[in-house]
Each structure stands twice: as C-alpha cells, then as structure tokens.
C-alpha cells in the first residue's frame, strides 16, 4: 500500500457540510492482483437475499424530521442525470442549475438547512456535454460525471473506449462511469474483465471511475457478485448497478449483494469502495430503503456522497414534494418546484 493517495471523490464545496471529521478523506482503491479463487468462491443465495431486502423496510424507517434529513442527505448523493438522445446544451444547463439549487430556498430555510450549501452529488451526462456542464457548474464544486466506454452497450473497440475516457477527463470530467463488457461476465472470462477494468482505471488518471455492471444483463446475483469483485480488484472506485437502459435496473437485492462484496473487499484489502444504484429509483420512499441498506450493511460512512451516489433523473422532484409536505403539512405538486 505504498501509493495510497488521499483523493476525495468529487471534492466540491458541498462536502464541507460533512461534519464527521475526516470522513471524506478516504484512501483511493489500489488495484489488487486478480484472485480467481476468491472470485470463484463467492456464494450467493437468492432466496436469502430476497428475504433480507423484503424485510428491511419493515425493520427500518424514518419519520418526520429524521425523514426530511435523510431525504436531504439523499439529494447530496444524487448524480443528477440526463442521458437521452435528445439532450442539448440548454437542457444540460438547466440540469446544472437544478444541481446547484436542488431545493427551494424557503423550504431549506424552514428545515433549518439554508446554510448548508446543499447541492446534488454530481451531474451525469454524455461526453458531448461534459465541457458545457463543467462550465455551467464552475465554482459550485459540483463534479461532472461522464458516462463512457461506448455507453450503454459498451461494445465499441477497446482503444476507442480508452480514448473516450481520456477525452472526457480532458474536458474536465472528474468522474467517469464506464460500462463493462457483459460478455466477459457471461462467459466467465474474469481475466478479460479484469484487464479491461484495469485499463479504464488507468485511462481515468485522477478522475474517479465508477464501474457499471449492467446487472440486468448479468441476470444472476452470483454473476453480479463476481463481477463486482473483479472490478474492485482491477481498481474501480465505485461499482454501479446499471446504465438505466437495461430492462431491469437497480434493485434492492442486487444492491445487497454488491455492497456485501464492497464490505468483503474492505475486509480483505482495507479499501472502501463506493456504491451507485442507478435507474428506477424515482420515489422518495424507495431511496430511503437504499439508504437503510447502506447504513445496515456498510455503516454510516456509506451514506455520504464520497461513497454513495444515486443515479436518478426524476427522484429529486419527488423528494422536493415530500420535503414541502413535511414543512407545510399539505401534499405538494410538481409544479411548485423548479424543473430540473
């Protein structure tokens, strides 16, 4: 562990809000040799995993002020995302504005949170819009994440993937969300997956890399667990469920297995890897369950944006409505909150 580098992911100003001393400062993952014995030794029982996630919402809940706080925390973890074929410069700018001011000022005031400089965790766009987003977010400290490596299918030539990463980093992306080649997992070619991931990490340089497993394509939790381990061994800073384009995106069961692998990786190597569920988390009550799972399985530390992100586009709007309800006692409407 000679080359431990202290590099908080993102590093934007909002992180000053995190009062737990020093918890932003985590050692960046250092790639490990591919340990096939470890990968093959993984055991996952689907029914047991399903029972765990099915009972969790009954075991943990937050109400009133606690709920408002947890939802505000969730906002700080959102990678506010637009990944559509009709994205344009102005669309991205609007999203960036929302990232800087995700909640109406009067609500933050009422919640006693006006002084926290609350922002989303990042903005997540295609490479084409990285520079625009970086400019729009200048001075806010909000990092820009770029999806990359032939997102979402990940089937462009390997050298082009590396070039795409480099281009986004050059444009100012501080985070790169790569997609893995699913074939490597589906055929059990762990060496190829490891090599690919190691190259992606190298191409990212100082930018943090999130490995998108496309869990909906991998089908089994065993595949998910093994792919998670291999990507972490190859240097991923975050592991992420989905592109949002697969037929099944983030689920609590997949989350459970991925974060258990994060825990196991930490047990063995000491490195803390971040987790990002993406796709399908659009309701405030859903995001709370993800937060409970993070806290229960990984601990308090994994509720902060340096170790937890949520890839979402419409979640924020629902949280805003819930926060307004908390403040006023009346149910809110979307049109009362600025569109993102």
Question: Residue 282 interacts with another protein (CB under 8 A)?
Answer: no
**Residue from 22, 33, 37, 58 in contact with another protein (CB under 8 A):** 58
* Beta pairing class for 310-312 and 122-125: unpaired
Q: In whole angstroms, how close is the CB of 267 to another protein at the nearest point?
A: 9
Q: In whole angstroms, how close is the CB of 251 to another protein at the nearest point?
A: 14
The Cα–Cα gap between 86 and 157 comes to: 25
Compute how many residues bind another protein; rule: CB under 8 A: 39
With residue 285 as reference, give the H or E element that holds it: helix 284-297
The Cα–Cα gap between 145 and 123 comes to: 6
Helix axes 284-297, 252-269, angle to 10 degrees: 30
For residue 50, the 8-state DSSP code is H
**Residue from 1, 47, 157, 333 in contact with another protein (CB under 8 A):** 47
**Residue from 48, 139, 247, 330 in contact with another protein (CB under 8 A):** 48
| Complex with another protein: residue 70 or 194, whichever CB lies closer | 70
| Complex with another protein: residue 110 or 167, whichever CB lies closer | 110
**Residue from 55, 89, 187, 314 in contact with another protein (CB under 8 A):** 55
DSSP labels, 242-286: --S-SSS---HHHHHHHHHHHHHHHHHH----EEE-BSS--SHHH
Torsion angles phi and psi, residue 38, rounded to 5: -65, -45
Q: In whole angstroms, how close is the CB of 289 to another protein at the nearest point?
A: 12
Question: Residue 303 interacts with another protein (CB under 8 A)?
Answer: yes
**Residue from 4, 13, 66, 138 in contact with another protein (CB under 8 A):** 66
3-state secondary structure of 81: strand
The Cα–Cα gap between 191 and 181 comes to: 12
- Between residue 205 and residue 234, which ones bind another protein under the rule CB under 8 A? 220-222
Q: In whole angstroms, how close is the CB of 77 to another protein at the nearest point?
A: 11
Which residues have a Cβ under 8 Å from the Cβ of 171 and sit 6 or more positions away? 127, 130, 131, 134, 146
The Cα–Cα gap between 131 and 146 comes to: 10
| Complex with another protein: residue 64 or 330, whichever CB lies closer | 64
| Complex with another protein: residue 209 or 224, whichever CB lies closer | 224
Question: Residue 188 interacts with another protein (CB under 8 A)?
Answer: no
Structural tokens at position 301: 């530390």
In order of 82, 130, 149, 244, the CA distances from 126 in angstroms are 8, 7, 10, 13
Q: Which positions are catalytic? A: 177, 240, 276
The Cα–Cα gap between 21 and 265 comes to: 24
The Cα–Cα gap between 84 and 262 comes to: 30
- Between residue 78 and residue 137, which ones bind another protein under the rule CB under 8 A? 111-113, 116
**Residue from 62, 101, 283, 338 in contact with another protein (CB under 8 A):** 62
For residue 301, the 8-state DSSP code is G
| Complex with another protein: residue 162 or 303, whichever CB lies closer | 303
Question: Residue 37 interacts with another protein (CB under 8 A)?
Answer: no
Question: Residue 59 interacts with another protein (CB under 8 A)?
Answer: yes
Binding site for another protein (CB under 8 A): 19-20, 43-52, 55, 58-66, 68-70, 72-73, 111-113, 116, 220-222, 260, 295-296, 300, 303
């Amino acid at each position: 562990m000679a080359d431990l580098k202290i590099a908080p992911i993102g590093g934007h100003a909002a992180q000053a809000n995190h009062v737990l001393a020093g918890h932003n400062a985590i050692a960046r993952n250092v790639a490990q040799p591919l340990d096939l014995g470890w990968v093959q030794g993984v055991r996952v029982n689907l029914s047991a995993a399903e029972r765990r996630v099915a009972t969790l919402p009954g075991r943990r809940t937050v109400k009133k002020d606690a709920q408002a706080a947890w939802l505000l925390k969730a906002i700080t973890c959102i990678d506010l995302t637009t990944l559509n074929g009709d994205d344009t410069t102005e669309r991205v700018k609007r999203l960036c504005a929302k990232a800087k001011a995700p909640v109406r000022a009067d609500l933050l005031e009422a919640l006693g949170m006006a002084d926290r400089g609350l922002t989303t965790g990042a903005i997540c766009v295609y490479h084409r819009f990285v520079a625009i987003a970086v400019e729009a977010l200048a001075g806010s400290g909000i990092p820009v994440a770029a999806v990359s490596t032939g997102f979402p299918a990940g089937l462009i030539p390997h050298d082009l993937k590396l070039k795409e990463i480099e281009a986004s980093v050059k444009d100012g992306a501080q985070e790169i969300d790569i997609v893995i080649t699913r074939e490597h997992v589906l055929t059990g070619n762990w060496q190829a997956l490891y090599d690919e991931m190691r190259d992606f990490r190298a191409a990212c340089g100082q930018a943090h890399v999130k490995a998108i497993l496309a869990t909906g394509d991998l089908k089994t939790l065993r595949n998910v667990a093994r792919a998670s381990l291999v990507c972490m061994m190859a240097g991923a800073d975050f592991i992420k469920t989905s592109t949002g384009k697969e037929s099944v995106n983030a689920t609590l069961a997949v989350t459970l297995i991925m974060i258990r692998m994060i825990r196991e990786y930490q047990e063995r190597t000491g490195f803390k890897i971040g987790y990002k569920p993406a796709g399908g988390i659009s309701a405030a009550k859903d995001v709370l369950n993800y937060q409970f799972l993070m806290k229960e399985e990984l601990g308090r530390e994994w509720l902060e944006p340096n170790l937890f992100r949520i890839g979402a586009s419409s979640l924020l709007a629902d949280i805003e409505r819930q926060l307004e309800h908390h403040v006023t006692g009346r149910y809110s409407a979307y049109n009362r909150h600025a569109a993102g």
